[in-house]
Structure 1
């Protein structure tokens, strides 16, 4: 019988889950981790399944996409209303229509903020879990310590690069390794595309919001509204790519956990420590 959570490995527990999803997979003997690699209070030899968290992240990312689509519609409505009301540089829009468009626009913005905050919290929890699992898979694959899986998001300017470095190490450590310990099989395209879209959305979104906030003349407002709509579309692209990244990395960790530890001779040849 397959695991009821991941549907890829054999169920071994009474509730129908595999050792990885149930968190009961033990560390192999003779495979110590690098000293200080895992923060105090964490179990250095125990994998914790990211499957449940990844499902929550996917659901929340779908909510983000829905909120962004709503915002695109509200933004286009506002933009066309303003553009249609331009008359020789002056804005002539019926007050009730302007009020309705304005309320819809700000309601969409509120929905975006709420869904994005909820997604960010759960995503970071998931990100930390896969980082700790990756430490067990291959402690030599990382250039940044596990704490940066959380802290890297909150350092100004560095948050444009640090989380990517953490994710790159997790991706490398989680990639399915052949039983002889050699070779990597998965392309980094999902990681690279997601991060490029995320950074572009953050930078362009701030620029578009700044333009909209500072616009005073009717034509400036119309142009700024167009930029905000474009930013929302870019946000949808980033959310879709984030969803693919989360699903792909979670699947890779399940496959890597099911593979078991690679032979010690292969580990020595590659100069790293690899644990299941």
Structure 2
């Protein structure tokens, strides 16, 4: 992003993107470690009422997992809000989703199954307006992302 764009009120997403990548990377590592430790606890038949060091490590990894899960949610929300705000600052017309609702739909029962996808689709398409190579239909990457989001939520519950 050049300085003229920044003077217009657009804010670079670079810092938010870096934070997001770091937090999600740590979250994925912690998830892998936690699953491995709990798998070992269950596989060895360790009494979960005992004081086995492996059980303690598994419990601590679960705590780190929870903290990183919340941190990743916060990082995604900040990135998504700013990305949508930049669309408005750039003067893109006919936007259906305001920055706060691009984030808010993730927390609305029932609507969280489809509204976040629609908001992300708007962000994706509006961000690529100058690219004639981008088809009008939804990009496959966006569909894969949404399928992973839905599948992940179903598995987690």
TM-score range with shorter-chain normalisation? 0.7 to 0.9
- Residue 191 of structure 1 corresponds to 142
Matched, 1:73 2:36: yes
- Residue 19 of structure 1 corresponds to 3
Contact kept, 8 Å, 1:78 with 1:102, in 2: the verdict is yes
Q: In structure 2, do the counterparts of structure 1 residues 200 and 175 end up closer, same or farther at CA, with 3 Å as the change threshold?
A: same
More helix by share: 2
Deviation at 1:66, TM superposition (A): 1.2
Gaps of 5+ in 1: 1-8, 10-17, 27-45, 83-92, 207-276
Q: In structure 2, do the counterparts of structure 1 residues 94 and 170 end up closer, same or farther at CA, with 3 Å as the change threshold?
A: closer
Matched, 1:61 2:45: no
Matched, 1:138 2:92: yes
| Cα RMSD (Å) | 2.7
Q: In structure 2, do the counterparts of structure 1 residues 202 and 94 end up closer, same or farther at CA, with 3 Å as the change threshold?
A: closer
Segments of 4+ in structure 1 off by > 4 A? Answer: 93-98
Gaps of 5+ in 2: none
Inter-partner Cα distance in structure 2 for 1:20 and 1:72: 48
Inter-partner Cα distance in structure 2 for 1:156 and 1:166: 16
Deviation at 1:154, TM superposition (A): 1.6
Q: In structure 2, do the counterparts of structure 1 residues 20 and 49 end up closer, same or farther at CA, with 3 Å as the change threshold?
A: farther
Q: In structure 2, do the counterparts of structure 1 residues 58 and 20 end up closer, same or farther at CA, with 3 Å as the change threshold?
A: farther
Q: TM-score by structure 1 length?
A: 0.50
Matches within 5 A, 1:17-96: 18-19=2-3, 23-24=6-7, 26=8, 46-82=9-45
Between Structure 1 and Structure 2, how many residues are aligned? Answer: 155
Contact kept, 8 Å, 2:48 with 2:55, in 1: the verdict is no
Q: In structure 2, do the counterparts of structure 1 residues 183 and 71 end up closer, same or farther at CA, with 3 Å as the change threshold?
A: same
Provide, for residues 12-60 of structure 1, a one-character-per-residue CA deviation record: whole Å limited to 9, x for no partner.
Answer: xxxxxx3267x22x3xxxxxxxxxxxxxxxxxxx211111111111111
Match 1:201 to one of 139, 152, 156: 152
- Residue 110 of structure 2 corresponds to 157
